[in-house]
C-alpha cells in the first residue's frame, strides 16, 4: 500500500490541478498509514498485562472492578442484556475477556488486530479457555460483526485507534451485531482540554467527552449510562464507561441495509 501511496504522491506532485479523485486517494493513504503505524507500534509491545496498559499494569484490578460494577448495573436495567455472548473488541491478550467477560458470559468472542496477542491469549486466559468462541484477527475499521449475535459488545482502550469515520461505521455495524436487548459498552480515556489529542507514537487519538457524545449521536446511539471510573491514579486521563444502544427499534436494524448505506458491501 505504501508503494501506491508514494505513486499517488508523485502523481499529485506532477499535477498542478489535483482533481477530487486524487485527493480522495491521498486521504486513503493517510488513513492506511495511520493504521499501519499503529500495527507496527503494537508489534513491538510484549504480550503482557503491563504491555496492554502501557506500563500501568497495576491499575488492571481497579479497572476490572469498576467495569464489573458497571456491567452488573446493566443487567439490572429493564430489558437489560442477556449473558449468552459477548464480544471483546481490541482484546489484546484477553485481559478483559479473562477477568470480566468470561466469568459472566457463556461465550466470549475476541477481535484484535495483532496476531501475536491472539496467539498468546490462549495461555493467558487459562481456565476460561473453554468459554472462548471465535477469535478474529482484524482491525475494527474492517470488522463486520455477525448480525444480531451479541448481548454485549465491549470496546475498551481501542477506539482511539479508529479515525472518526471508521468509528462511526464500526458503531453502526455493531448495532446490527446486537441482539434485541444488546448493549455496546465503550470504556475510553477522555481529554480534559475539550480538544482531540494525538499520540504519534502509537498512532491514536484521545477524544474529548463532547466529541464522543457527538459521534454516538451521529451513529444513532442513545446513551443508557455514562459513568466515570474512580480510583485511578492522578495524572491519567479521565476514563468514562458508556452503555449505548440503538435509537432504532431492533426489527428496523438490518445489516444489509446498513452495509449498503455505508458502501462496504463490495
Ligand atoms: C491499550 S491496548 C488495550 C487492550 C485491551 N482492550 C485491554 O484493555 O486490556 C489496545 C489494543 O488495541 C489493539 N488495536 C490497535 N488498533 C486496533 C484496530 N484498529 N483494530 C483492532 N484492535 C486494535 C492493539 O493491538 C491492542 O491490543
The ligand 1 atom at the shortest distance from the C-alpha of residue 155 is 6
The ligand 1 atom at the shortest distance from the C-alpha of residue 88 is 6
Q: What is the side-by-side strand order in the sheet with 150-156? A: 132-137, 107-112, 85-89, 150-156, 178-190, 238-246, 221-228
HEC sequence for the chain: CHHHHHHHHHHHHHCCCCCHHHHHHHHHHHHHHHHHHHHHHHHCCCCCHHHHCCCCHHHHHHHHHHHHHHHHHHHCCCCCCCCCEEEEECCCCCHHHHHHHCCCCCEEEEEECCHHHHHHHHHHHHHHHHHEEEEEECCHHHCCCCCCCEEEEEEECCHHHCCHHHHHHHHHHHHHHEEEEEEEEEEEEEECCCCCEEECCCCEEECEHHHHHHHHHHCCEEEEEEEECCCCCCCCCEEEEEEEEECCCHHHCCHHHHHHHHCCCC
Q: 112 CB less than 6 Å from ligand 1?
A: yes
pLDDT on residue 261: 66
Q: 206 CB less than 6 Å from ligand 1?
A: no
Q: Give the residue whose CA is nearest to atom 16 of ligand 1.
A: 161
pLDDT on residue 258: 63
Q: 156 CB less than 6 Å from ligand 1?
A: yes
pLDDT on residue 249: 73
Q: Give the residue whose CA is nearest to atom 19 of ligand 1.
A: 139
pLDDT for 136-148, tens place per residue? 999 999 999 999 9
Q: How far, in Å, from the CA of 160 to the mean position of ligand 1? A: 9
The values of phi and psi at residue 185, to 5°, are -110, 130
Whole-model pTM: value is 0.88
pLDDT on residue 259: 64
Domain residue extents for the chain: 2-41, 47-262
Cα distance between residue 108 and residue 261, in whole Å? 29
pLDDT on residue 27: 67
Q: Which three cell numbers stand for residue 186?
A: 465503550
- Top CATH class of 47-262 equals alpha beta
Q: Are strands 238-246 and 178-190 parallel, antiparallel or unpaired?
A: antiparallel
Q: Are strands 178-190 and 150-156 parallel, antiparallel or unpaired?
A: parallel
Rg (CA), the chain: 19
pLDDT on residue 1: 31
pLDDT on residue 99: 98
Q: Which of 55, 92, 144 to mutate to test the pocket of ligand 1 (most atoms within 8 A of CB)?
A: 92
Residue ranges of the chain with pLDDT lower than 50? 1-22, 265-266
The values of phi and psi at residue 91, to 5°, are -70, -20
pLDDT on residue 31: 78
Q: Which of 90, 141, 165, 206 to mutate to test the pocket of ligand 1 (most atoms within 8 A of CB)?
A: 90
The ligand 1 atom at the shortest distance from the C-alpha of residue 117 is 27
pLDDT on residue 194: 94
The ligand 1 atom at the shortest distance from the C-alpha of residue 54 is 1
Q: 88 CB less than 6 Å from ligand 1?
A: no
pLDDT on residue 20: 47
Amino acid at each position: 500500500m505504501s508503494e501506491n501511496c508514494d505513486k499517488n504522491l508523485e502523481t499529485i506532485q506532477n499535477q498542478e490541478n489535483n482533481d477530487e479523485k486524487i485527493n480522495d486517494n491521498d486521504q486513503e493513504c493517510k488513513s492506511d498509514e495511520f493504521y499501519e503505524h499503529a500495527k507496527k507500534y503494537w508489534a513491538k509491545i510484549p504480550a503482557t498485562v503491563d504491555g496492554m496498559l502501557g506500563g500501568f499494569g497495576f491499575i488492571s484490578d481497579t479497572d476490572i472492578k469498576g467495569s464489573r460494577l458497571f456491567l452488573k448495573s446493566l443487567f439490572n436495567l429493564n430489558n437489560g442484556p442477556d449473558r449468552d455472548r459477548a464480544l471483546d473488541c481490541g482484546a489484546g491478550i484477553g485481559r478483559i475477556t479473562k477477568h470480566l467477560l468470561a466469568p459472566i458470559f457463556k461465550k466470549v468472542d475476541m477481535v484484535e488486530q495483532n496476531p501475536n496477542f491472539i496467539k498468546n491469549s490462549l495461555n493467558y486466559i487459562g481456565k476460561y479457555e473453554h468459554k472462548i468462541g471465535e477469535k478474529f484477527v482484524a482491525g475494527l475499521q474492517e470488522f463486520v460483526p455477525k448480525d444480531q449475535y451479541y448481548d454485549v459488545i465491549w470496546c475498551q482502550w481501542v477506539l482511539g485507534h479508529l479515525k472518526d469515520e471508521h468509528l462511526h461505521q464500526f458503531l453502526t455495524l455493531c448495532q446490527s451485531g446486537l441482539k434485541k436487548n444488546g448493549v455496546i459498552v465503550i470504556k475510553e480515556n477522555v481529554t480534559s482540554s475539550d480538544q482531540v489529542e494525538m499520540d504519534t507514537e502509537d498512532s491514536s487519538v484521545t477524544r474529548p467527552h463532547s466529541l464522543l457524545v457527538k459521534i454516538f449521536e451521529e451513529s444513532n446511539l442513545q446513551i443508557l449510562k455514562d459513568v466515570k471510573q474512580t480510583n485511578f491514579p492522578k495524572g491519567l486521563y479521565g476514563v468514562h464507561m458508556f452503555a449505548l444502544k440503538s435509537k432504532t427499534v431492533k426489527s428496523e436494524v438490518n445489516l444489509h441495509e446498513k452495509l449498503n448505506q455505508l458502501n462496504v458491501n463490495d
